[in-house]
Amino acid sequence: MESSREHAFPRPLIATKFYPPPAPARSVKRPDLVARIEEGLRFRHPLILISAPAGYGKSALVAEWRESVQRTVTWLSLDDSDNEPLRFFLYLIAALQKADPTIGTELRALLEANQLPPRETLVALLTEDLLASKISLVCVLDDFQSIQDPFIFDILQELIAQPLPLQFIIVTREDPAMPLGRLRAHAQLTEIRAADLRFTKKEIESFFRELIQIPLSEAELSLLEQRTEGWVAGLQLVALSMKGRKDPSAVIASLSGDNRHILSYLTEEVLKQQAPTVQEFLLQTSILTKFNADLCNAVAQRSDSAWLLEQLLTSNLFLTPLDDEGHWYRYHHLFADMLLGLLRRSQPQQLQGLHLRAAKWFEHQDMPLEAIDHALAAADFARSAKLLEKHTWTLLNQGYARQVEAWLQSLPAEWRARSLRANLSFAWMYLLRGNFAEVMPYLEQVESALETAAAEGDLQAECLALKANLKQAQGRIMEAIEHAENALNVVSPENIRVLGLAYLGLGAGYRQAGQFDRAVEALQQAVHFSRDSGDSVTGALAISHLVLMSLQYGRLTFAEQVSTQMIEQMEKSKEAVSPIIGAVYGALGLVYYERNQVEQAREAYLRGIQLSTFLGHRASLVYTKLNLARLLLTEGDLDGAVKNLQDAQELIQAGAPGWLRPSLIAHQVEYFLAVGNLPEAEAILQQSGITDGDKVIHAPDEIQLAYLHILLRHREEEHLREGIKLAERIVTVAEGSQRNYTTMLASVLGALIHEKLGDAKSASEWLERALAIAEPEGYLRSLVDKGAEVAQILRRLKKKTDYVHKLLAAFPVMERTSIRSHPPEGLVEPLSERELEVLRLLAKGTTYAEIAEQLVVSLNTVRFHIKSIYRKLGADKQVKAIERAREVGLLE
């Protein structure tokens, strides 16, 4: 359930992060190093690593290379907040889209909705899009030392390992924890390191003579090279210190100590040479990681910042523009560190006021990240807590979980305890991710605060709604219902978001308690309120409960109506889809299947499987694979059925909700009975702890029905009599709680047992009970799949309704569809009808958008079909797919 709880409102990405810094106007050109980068790219090295400490001119070198070539280059400047997979990949995709907007469109929508797909899906989708792109790209990742997350490394390694039209230039202060040794051994890595970047004596000479117009003697050059080790930042500071001095050589002679000491010493020297106004401005603005004139005016309480910034830029005072318009700037990291150090030492009393003014400015500009940072630095905990209360949920949805958590932890305990909404937001986030253990500390914090403070009713209501949803997910049904009802009692009527959440907890609780009507009513309320409040995730969860429950209760028509409505809405919407959508497709497929619309069922299942895989929703994937296994089994595709059952089993073992296990067992039993392996079917049930009829009566419906099915296959009267008793018991209990689907299946099996015992009258009566449920909802396959004996009983019925005739007619239809439509020779898997339709349109040269319009589906659906067609035809391009389709006779 990893997803956002509210309407997806992605904050606009920070544009300055994509801005490639221009090469310094006055700098020593480094043609040899530029040539090395080019050579690495020409040799198709997937990674060019530029690794050296700060101030060695790494970014300047890449900027010089970028301006000297005609390549398509995208740039991404990273910072510590990007060390979260969701955020990193969102920005990486956005950077790639600057060069080719078709790359990662589906992924981006997901990431913007706070959904991180599984590793395999992420790699597969990116790879596919990159291969389809006609552009060869170079992506520069600047300040990569900020990235330390193993998941990010893992994905980048995958991308680097594949032959893609994408090469990375990683600019970093330390080597990334990636397999550089292997890349070196396979000659796939170009490295430019500190030793390569340090200025040679010749370059130092050229730097001072041509750019600074200060010729140095051979001895001075040697001394400078020795003292600075050719460190560019140091040389620049030396040059700045020399400006306007009568004896420039004295600066060189005064250098002593290590690089850090030189830097500190020179920064002070440079500062001393500036006018007092500039000195003050530099120190005051050093608290800012990025700034514009307006912000500088606010922080430094002046009105001439625009002019001062111009002066700094002209003086080459380590000012780096962050955009083309000259709005945003930053200082070189090293210079900023030194200035801030100076400010702390010389005017510590200023710091709090400066940070506070910065916090207010960012708050006013609706830039909460920066505002919270500065508010905390100013020790303004009231403001920090207020900002966290207001923005935590949005920031969590934008992938800032680590950062917000760190902020929350850095608040003093009393303020943290007062941040109820922030704590509540964390609790929701972990609940939606299914990480129940992590929910508790945050929930406890909120609850203890609620006990001591006179909290507003809505906060209390939200807390109760959260507990209701937590308890129902943990199977503590009565507690869930109680919390939900309490939430509804205290919530104010205008708080529709919390109303939706409370009704969701209530409906899910009633569903598990077997109270169908109450559950439907509550879930419909949840859908209604969540729609009004724009909370798409609550809406999707409520609908999925409604659909799955409707099937359980034999309400096929209602399930079809609700699932179709949800799918239509999703297809029309441009938002990222809810992860639960895979199960909704699985449920709709089951509706089609029951009505004997086999191809539509298959299509819905395959779409459900695609979406569940794509969105990493394991429960939906298991559910849909089990349904598909049943369809394949009845078609006689035993291999296909086994494959899907095995997949489902592995997924459950890897960690899927417990409610899917009985369904898996029932499907496995069904398979072994279908292939005539009664001992194995019994063994499956025994392994799950069902060794006799006494044990089965406490098991879920699916297990009871599977046991009943096994009893039907026995020849001994003793077993058949036991079957009758069990069928009667199942029907009695299921009828009592309106579980019509269970009643119907138990009645069909009961009818067959009576038939086997030679009691034709009872067999007819039992089957008529099943028909009373099946007819209004249009069930066919649940009866037809039970075999010719059902048809035999049906033919004996005195009153044959239209429905009975339809059922009887379905038997031969089933026989026809049971002959597996073999794929054309050379193809492992056949194309579905819809895929053939798409393929034919593609062959006619129809565009994706035109296909979407003609077939009345979304562009995303078309893309899914096309990917599936490519996979089945073993092609990676449209031309190849059409060629292959002609070869195997799929196209005229």
- Note the residues at the interface with other proteins (CB under 8 A): 51-53, 56, 148, 150, 172-177, 179-182, 184-185, 193-195, 197-198, 226-227, 229-231, 255-259, 262
CB-based contact 16:370 (threshold 8 Å): no
Closest CB 256 distance from other proteins, rounded Å: 7
Closest CB 344 distance from other proteins, rounded Å: 25
The smaller minimum CB distance to other proteins, of residues 151 and 415, is found at 151
Closest CB 258 distance from other proteins, rounded Å: 6
CB-based contact 112:90 (threshold 8 Å): yes
The smaller minimum CB distance to other proteins, of residues 235 and 312, is found at 235
Whole-angstrom Cα distance, residue 408 to residue 403?
9
The smaller minimum CB distance to other proteins, of residues 59 and 392, is found at 59
Residue 303 burial (CB count, 10 A): 9
Whole-angstrom Cα distance, residue 249 to residue 254?
9
Which distant-in-sequence residues (6+ apart) come within 8 Å of 822 by Cβ? 830
The smaller minimum CB distance to other proteins, of residues 228 and 292, is found at 228
Q: What is the DSSP string of 842-859?
A: HHTT--HHHHHHHHT--H
CB-based contact 411:384 (threshold 8 Å): yes
CB-based contact 778:591 (threshold 8 Å): no
The smaller minimum CB distance to other proteins, of residues 175 and 405, is found at 175
Written as one letter, the residue type at 446 is V
Q: For 325-361, b where at least 16 C-beta lie within 10 A, e where not — what string?
A: eeebbbbbbbbbbbbbebbeeeeeeebeebbbbbbbb
Whole-angstrom Cα distance, residue 791 to residue 833?
30
Closest CB 184 distance from other proteins, rounded Å: 7
Q: Rounded to an integer, what is the distance from CA 593 to the centroid of its chain? A: 31
Closest CB 342 distance from other proteins, rounded Å: 22
The smaller minimum CB distance to other proteins, of residues 198 and 497, is found at 198
The smaller minimum CB distance to other proteins, of residues 160 and 283, is found at 160
The smaller minimum CB distance to other proteins, of residues 234 and 608, is found at 234
Closest CB 363 distance from other proteins, rounded Å: 36
Closest CB 259 distance from other proteins, rounded Å: 6
The smaller minimum CB distance to other proteins, of residues 123 and 224, is found at 224
Residue 569 burial (CB count, 10 A): 16
Q: 325: which 2 tokens?
A: 């318009």
The smaller minimum CB distance to other proteins, of residues 231 and 592, is found at 231
The smaller minimum CB distance to other proteins, of residues 78 and 343, is found at 78
CB-based contact 183:159 (threshold 8 Å): no
Packed helices 740-756 and 536-552: angle between N→C axes, nearest 10 degrees: 20
Closest CB 872 distance from other proteins, rounded Å: 36
Whole-angstrom Cα distance, residue 794 to residue 784?
11
The DSSP H or E segment spanning 77 is strand 72-77
Closest CB 365 distance from other proteins, rounded Å: 36
The smaller minimum CB distance to other proteins, of residues 238 and 588, is found at 238
Closest CB 172 distance from other proteins, rounded Å: 7
Closest CB 228 distance from other proteins, rounded Å: 8
Which distant-in-sequence residues (6+ apart) come within 8 Å of 270 by Cβ? 237, 240, 241, 317
Closest CB 29 distance from other proteins, rounded Å: 20
CB-based contact 497:478 (threshold 8 Å): no
The smaller minimum CB distance to other proteins, of residues 48 and 696, is found at 48
Whole-angstrom Cα distance, residue 285 to residue 306?
13
Closest CB 197 distance from other proteins, rounded Å: 7
Query: Residue by residue, what is the 3-state secondary structure of 125-185?
Result: HHHHHHHHCCCCEEEEEECHHHCCCHHHHHHHHHHHHCCCCEEEEEEECCCCCCCHHHHHH
Closest CB 150 distance from other proteins, rounded Å: 6
Q: 135: which 2 tokens?
A: 């552009």
Closest CB 180 distance from other proteins, rounded Å: 7
The smaller minimum CB distance to other proteins, of residues 149 and 389, is found at 149
The smaller minimum CB distance to other proteins, of residues 148 and 687, is found at 148
Q: Is 140 left (phi over 0), alpha (psi -120 to 50) or beta?
A: beta
Burial zone of 761 (CB within 10 Å; 0-12 exposed, 13-18 middle, 19+ buried): exposed
Nearest to 190 by CA among 67, 30, 29, 46: 46
